[in-house]
Amino acid sequence: MTRQTDRIAALVTRVLTETRWPSVIVDVLALLAMAIFWNAPWAMTAAAIVIVAATLAALVWEDPPYWTGRFLTSHLILLAAAVAMFTDGWSVVGIVGVVLVGGAVATEGALVRSMPSLDMTPSANILPVAVPRPLAGPSRFFHILLSIATVVAVASAAFDLVWLAVVVAAIVLVVDGGYIASLVRRSMQRDASGKRARAKVRELGPVFYVHWDAPAEGHYQVTMWVPYLERLGVPFVIIVRSRKQLDALASRVAAPVLLCVTAEEIERSILPSVRAVLFVNTALRNAHYLRFNELRAIQLNHGDSDKPASASRQFRAYDRNLVAGQAAVDRFAHYGVEMPRELVRIVGRPQVEEVERPTQPRTGAPTVLYAPTWAGFFTDSNLSSLPSGVAMVEDLLERGCTIVFRPHAFTSRNADLQAQADRIRALLADDARRTGRAHLFGAVAESEMTVVDCFNASDAMVADVSSIVSDYLYSEKPFAMASAGMPRTEFTAAYPVSQAAYVVDPDRSSFHAAFDAMLGDDPLRAERVRLRRHYLGDFPAEGYSEVFVQALREELAAETTR
What is the mean pLDDT of the segment spanning 82-109?
Answer: 56
Q: What is the largest CA-CA distance in the chain?
A: 93
Q: Looking at the predicted structure, is the pLDDT value of residue 131 above 60?
A: no
Cα–Cα nearest to 421, from 467, 382, 374, 471: 374
Max mean pLDDT range (318-332, 370-384, 504-518):
318-332
Q: Residue 13: is its pLDDT beyond 90?
A: no
Report, as an integer, the average pLDDT of 330-349: 93
Backbone dihedral angles phi then psi of residue 542, each to the nearest 5 degrees: -70, 120
Rg from Cα positions in the chain = 29
Average pLDDT over residues 407-418: 85
% of the chain surpassing 90 pLDDT: 45
**Number of neighbours of residue 458 by Cβ within 10 angstroms:** 25
The 3-state DSSP composition of the chain as helix, strand, coil percent (nearest 5) reads 60, 10, 30
Sign of CA dihedral 148, 153, 159, 161: positive
Whether 394 contacts 484, CB under 8 Å: no
Give the bridge partners for 402, in sequence order.
367
pLDDT at 134: 54
Half-sphere exposure of 434 (CA within 13 A, CB side): 10
Q: Determine the Cα angle at 283 with ends 282 and 288, to 5°.
A: 110
pLDDT, mean of residues 179-193: 75
Give the tens place of pLDDT for each residue, 512-559. 888 999 999 999 999 999 999 999 999 998 999 999 999 999 999 986
C-alpha span between 70 and 226 (Å, rounded): 38
DSSP for 160-182 reads: T-HHHHHHHHHHHHHHHHHHHHH
What residues are paired with 404 via a beta bridge?
Answer: 369, 440
Q: Which residues pair with 124 in a beta bridge?
A: 257
Share of the chain above pLDDT 70, in %: 73
Q: 3-state class of 463 per DSSP?
A: strand
> Average pLDDT of 347-376?
88
What distance in Å separates the CA atoms of residue 8 and residue 5, rounded to the nearest whole number?
Answer: 5
User: Using one digit for the tens of pLDDT, what is the confidence trace for 468-482?
Assistant: 899 999 999 999 998
- Provide the sign of the torsion angle of the four alpha carbons 471, 477, 483, 484, taken in this order: negative
Q: Which residue has the higher pLDDT, 553 or 58?
A: 553
The conformation of residue 353, written as its DSSP 8-state character, comes to: G
Distance, CA of 270 to CA of 277 (rounded, Å): 10
> Given this model, what pLDDT does residue 101 score?
54
Confidence of residue 321 (pLDDT cuts 50, 70, 90): very high
Say which residue, 37 or 230, is predicted with more confidence. 230
pLDDT of residue 281: 95
pLDDT at position 18 is 44
Bigger pLDDT: 123 or 379? Answer: 123
**Residues 63-93 pLDDT 10s:** 544 455 555 555 655 665 665 555 554 566 5
| pLDDT score for 164 | 79
Q: State yes or no: pLDDT of 1 exceeds 50.
A: no
Q: Which of 264, 197, 292, 265 is nearest to 237 (CA)?
A: 197
Q: Give the C-alpha separation, 13 to 359, whole Å.
A: 49
What is the arithmetic mean of pLDDT over 445-452? 90
pLDDT category of residue 370 using cuts at 50, 70 and 90: very high
Domains and CATH numbers, the chain: 2-123+136-194 (no CATH), 205-349 (3.40.50.11720), 354-536 (3.40.50.2000)
Per-residue pLDDT, averaged over 149-159, amounts to 76
Quote the pTM value: 0.72
| Position 34 confidence tier, pLDDT thresholds 50, 70, 90 | low
**How confident is the model over 242-266, as pLDDT tens digits?**
888 998 998 899 999 999 988 889 9
Measured CA to CA, the distance from residue 331 to residue 221 in angstroms comes to: 21
Asked whether the beta carbons of 271 and 140 are under 8 A apart, the reply is no
Calculate the alpha carbon distances from 268 to 258, 261, 289 in Å. Answer: 12, 11, 11
Supply the mean pLDDT for the chain.
81
Minimum mean pLDDT range among 152-166, 208-222, 362-376, 416-430: 152-166
Which pLDDT tens digit goes with each residue over 259-302?
998 888 999 999 999 999 999 999 999 999 999 999 999 999 98
200 or 34, higher pLDDT: 200
State the average pLDDT over residues 153-170: 75
Q: How far out from the chain centre does Cα 375 lie? A: 14
The most confident of 1-10, 150-159, 183-192, 510-519, by mean pLDDT: 510-519
